[in-house]
Amino acid sequence: MSSTPPRLPKAPLLDRISGPEDFRDFTVEELIRLTEEVRQTMIHSVSYTGGHLAAGLGVAELTVALHYVFDTPNDKLIWDVGHQAYPHKIVTGRRDKMLGLRHGGGLSGFTRRAESEYDPFGAGHSSTSISAALGMAVGRDLQGTQKNIIAVIGDGAMSAGQAYEAMNNAGAQGSRLVVVLNDNDMSIAHPVGAMSAYLSRLMSSPKYHSIRHLAKDLVQLLPPPLERAAKRAEEYARGMVTGGGTLFEELGFFYIGPVDGHNFEHLLPVLKNVRDSDSNTPVLLHVVTKKGKGYAPAEAAADKYHGVGRFDVVTGQFEKPVANAPSYTSVFAKALLAEAEADDRVVAITAAMPGGTGLDRFSSRFPGRCFDVGIAEQHAVTFAAGLACEGLKPFCAIYSTFLQRAYDQLQHDVVLQKLPVRFAIDRAGLVGADGATHAGAYDLALLGCQPDIVIMCPSDEAELMHAVATAASIDDRPSAFRYPRGEGMGIELPDRGSVLPIGKGRILREGNRVAILTLGTRLVEVLKAADELTALGLSPTVADARFMKPLDEDLVLRLAREHEVLITIEEGSIGGFGSHVLQLLASQGALDRGLKIRPMILPDIFIEHDTQWEQYEKVGLNASGIVKTALSALGDPKLSA
């Protein structure tokens, strides 16, 4: 497949618009054609850039309908997660930038406040939209302004507790708010038809609201037991007729649906009724869509086309990059399977990411020992703690960026109780095209301040296998090991990892003057830098810390004692490994004799999306950056300007 950007298909209607205001006078037939142009633009763009495809294809009509009916950007439209938001970007003035999606300097793969006035809230993590929308609705009410606030949330995101916390609060608050539930997996309702559409139009109409309010006023005149019974009868009747609204009614929402999300004649009247209602009751509009709609390969395999790399539009075939080594994720899967084969107490937990974390392989081999708890990281961690209480060996596999969401549970439910939960932290460090929302920059700082936890950072894929084996052997406290997105170094792998001595690093090269103490997979760049320094007449010592906690104090103090310069390397933010090394050196007086120490970390900024290689190049965590740091610390004249 060519690396040349494709020519986007002809789009005569899209050519006429620069924003939603330009298609609000379109006929339904024109809206249908516009939606098809949006779909084709999205398919061709993502075929080149990669990104999220199936969910966005499913909400093309819904996107056009929402912008057609509501007065965006004055009315606030909030997309949960951002996976669904590519059509939204196309119709809000960003169509010409879609071929730069997720590329350096280009559009973000998620909604982003700094990118457009049509993005009122940034979203990379799931299930935040209703909370944000309620905050905006209350802010609007306090300031006495007039605008609609609409949150679009996928039903997958409804597995997270925050969504229900927000709905519970919204139901009690009584602020005007619209939540659109995009049900794209048929997990809540079966296909909908004309009768359902009629009922949805009826229930969203002002006449129905007036009758219902009158009925409620009359019911309040009844004795309390009869009043409660009458309210329940009405709500449960509506729930039975319309296909599942009772739960949302109990949370204080007025439920409408389900509505066919691909039929403008069903969508537009309901959205207009919701827009024009003067009720302060929050509304939940249940819309059924099909992931991958309009692109046959994605319709046939929506999960496969959820997040994609480059692909051929005609055939749907994915571009397969030549892998020089297995991915770290696949190595973790191999290592965990080896431990599970040897010990039937090994179990695995994921928060809706079985494929992303490699646990799909574990689930296939041990279906009764693998648990996908949905988008519920907090629950995943405490659930793992409960498993540990019963003598099992839980491995909780979560991306670094998502583990942040369960920090309280990690500290309070696991570490405080010294429960041997093992955290497999995938996507540690920089993650490329997913950018700042998904970067694994903070886990070392967050975990490092927790007492009595073992933290391992493998430097290559063989070391990752040893880390998994070591974690499996630790039964008296929690442990964690982190590893990056992408391929390993091509190291030969054992059939099963070996248990490492806890808290002990290793010397890889003996040298003088400069010591480089690395933690994690920057080791390959450290070794390149060591070769360059050797060519310049310097012969650095290279050490692999292996563990952040417990820190190999003897190794650190020896390096400080025997060298002029000590450089620490890590793929994490300030407050991590380098901070712990500095704390040790300061407390032991090792800085009193003039040691020059240079911690190399991720800078104190959010790092924009780009390739991983470019990201590390920009922040200096590569061979040339390490060489420059060493020469600068020595005051060497070979340092280039």
Distance of CA 280 to the CA centre of its chain: 33
Q: Is 83 annotated as a binding-site member? A: yes
Residue 196 clears pLDDT 80, i.e. is over it: no
Q: Is 125 annotated as a binding-site member? A: yes
Note if the pTM is more than 0.85.
yes
* Least-confidence region, from 22-26, 174-178, 315-319: 315-319
pLDDT of residue 239: 47
**Which of the four CATH numbers 3.40.50.1820, 3.40.50.970, 3.10.450.50, 1.20.1250.20 does domain 14-308 have?**
3.40.50.970
Q: Assess if CATH 3.40.50.970 describes domain 328-482.
A: yes
What is the pLDDT confidence band of residue 237, given thresholds at 50, 70 and 90? very low
High-pLDDT (> 90) share of the chain, %:
76
Residue linked to tokens 């006429």: 16
Q: Is 156 annotated as a binding-site member? A: yes
Average pLDDT over residues 174-179: 93
Range list for CATH 3.40.50.920 in the chain: 506-634
Q: Is 184 annotated as a binding-site member? A: yes
pLDDT of residue 215: 52
What is the pLDDT confidence band of residue 191, given thresholds at 50, 70 and 90? very low
Catalytic entry in 405, 422, 427, 546: 405
Task: Note if 61 is an active site residue.
Answer: no
Q: Which residue has the higher pLDDT, 234 or 631?
A: 631
In three state form, how does the secondary structure of 316-328 look?
Answer: CCECCCCCCCCEH
Residue 330, SS3? helix
Catalytic entry in 37, 377, 461, 463: 377
Average pLDDT over residues 48-76: 95
pLDDT of residue 201: 60
Q: Which residue has the higher pLDDT, 257 or 331?
A: 331
Task: Note if 377 is an active site residue.
Answer: yes
What is the pLDDT confidence band of residue 304, given thresholds at 50, 70 and 90? confident
The alpha carbon torsion through 10, 16, 22, 24 (nearest 10 deg) reads: -50
Q: Is 155 annotated as a binding-site member? A: yes
Range list for CATH 3.40.50.970 in the chain: 14-308, 328-482
Q: What is the CATH number of domain 506-634?
A: 3.40.50.920
Average pLDDT over residues 40-64: 93
Q: Is 109 annotated as a binding-site member? A: no
In three state form, how does the secondary structure of 85-150 look?
Answer: CHHHHHHHHHHHHHHHCCCCCCCCCCECCCCCCCCCCCECCCCCHHHHHHHHHHHHHHHCCCCCEE
The alpha carbon torsion through 184, 189, 190, 191 (nearest 10 deg) reads: -60
Question: In terms of Cα–Cα distance, which of 181, 180, 197, 172 is closest to 70?
Answer: 180
Instruction: Round the average pLDDT of the chain to a whole number and report it.
Output: 90
Q: How far apart are CA 515 and CA 581, in angstroms?
A: 13
Q: Is 377 annotated as a binding-site member? A: yes
Query: What tokens appear for 277 in the block?
Result: 């209602």
* Least-confidence region, from 9-23, 224-238, 582-596: 224-238
Most confident segment among 2-16, 245-259, 608-622: 608-622
pLDDT of residue 609: 93
Catalytic entry in 39, 291, 485, 546: 291
Q: Which residue has the higher pLDDT, 176 or 233?
A: 176
Q: Which residue has the higher pLDDT, 189 or 317?
A: 317
Q: How far apart are CA 608 and CA 126, in angstroms?
A: 20
Q: How many residues does the chain have?
A: 641
* Least-confidence region, from 89-98, 129-138, 295-304, 489-498: 295-304
